[in-house]
Amino acid sequence: MNSKPNYHPDFTDGDVELILADSETRFRIESSTLRRTSEFFAAVFVVGAKGEPAHFTIDEDEHTVEVLLKIASGLRFPNEWVDNLDGIELLARAAEKYEVGAALEVVRLLLDSSAMRGPAASLRKYALASRHGWHDIAQDAARDALDVVLDFDDIPDMDMRHLTRLLSFRQKRVEAFVKAISFRDDVTAIGAANRGLCPGGSTEHSIGEDGTWQYLKAKMLLRIAEMPSGVTLLDDGDVVHNVRGVRACARHSSSKAYDWERLHAEILACVAQLPKDLPRLP
């Protein structure tokens, strides 16, 4: 004896029955709703104008189908989807597969919500937004991803053009920082116009710098190559401490070689001027 089908409580009536391949739950819905909201099902029903199939077996999971059909039917869907990137990705795939434009619009809005901001979800958000041509969201995600140390094993699947674009964006920031920080090699000592001369005493002379600035610069270049946002540039406290403590020269030990407040401001200015926009698609 066959057991009675288990229908989702919100979808028990209709002339179309959706059977899930991996679940006992079924969904019944009016074909008119599917025709109106899904280009995929609209085409299916047109082809089978007479004797339309009443049953469809689909591969999606129960929660994804529930949200997809609730969007198509104009019903509210569970709030936990608002900050569930796994669920958003599954919904996007189903919406694309069945050509449910309203569901894709919901995906776009969810990706653009405050819950999806920050580096944690940035790469997956970038991949999904790029796939669907949502440039503004992809741009925001690429900026958030500047705080991510890339591990190529963890990069989500995406079109190679979009990955190249993301990597190019990061590289352009690194190159711009290298250029900007190198330009400051001769103005970092005390006094912007002294070209590395000690201001102590009555006669200007070389500060006799011991390479501390060059070491800090090398550290910063490594940091920004790893995390192009620049937020970790000065995380090495020992190196920063050494720069702040360098004396101008042995003859004037009370004079500091660097005005740290000014140098720090110049470094931040370099970061603020780095490229902020994705390049064109290759």
pLDDT tens for 150-165 read 998 889 999 999 999 9
Domains and CATH numbers, the chain: 6-163 (3.30.710.10), 168-272 (no CATH)
pLDDT, residue 249, reads 61
pLDDT tens for 59-87 read 999 999 999 999 999 999 877 777 789 99
Q: DSSP letter at 147?
A: G
| 251 has a pLDDT exceeding 70 | no
Q: Is the CB of residue 71 less than 8 Å from the CB of residue 77?
A: yes
Q: At what angle do helices 101-111 and 122-131 cross, to 10 degrees?
A: 150
pLDDT, residue 256, reads 67
Dihedrals phi, psi of 253, to nearest 5 degrees: -70, -15
What beta strand segments (E) does 112-151 contain?
A: none
Q: Predicted confidence band at 214 (pLDDT cuts at 50, 70, 90)?
A: confident
pTM attached to this predicted model: 0.84
Q: DSSP letter at 10?
A: E
Taking residues 113-142, what's their average pLDDT?
96
Dihedrals phi, psi of 16, to nearest 5 degrees: -125, 135
Q: Is the CB of residue 19 less than 8 Å from the CB of residue 57?
A: yes
Say whether 60 sits in a helix, a strand or coil.
Answer: coil
pLDDT, residue 102, reads 96
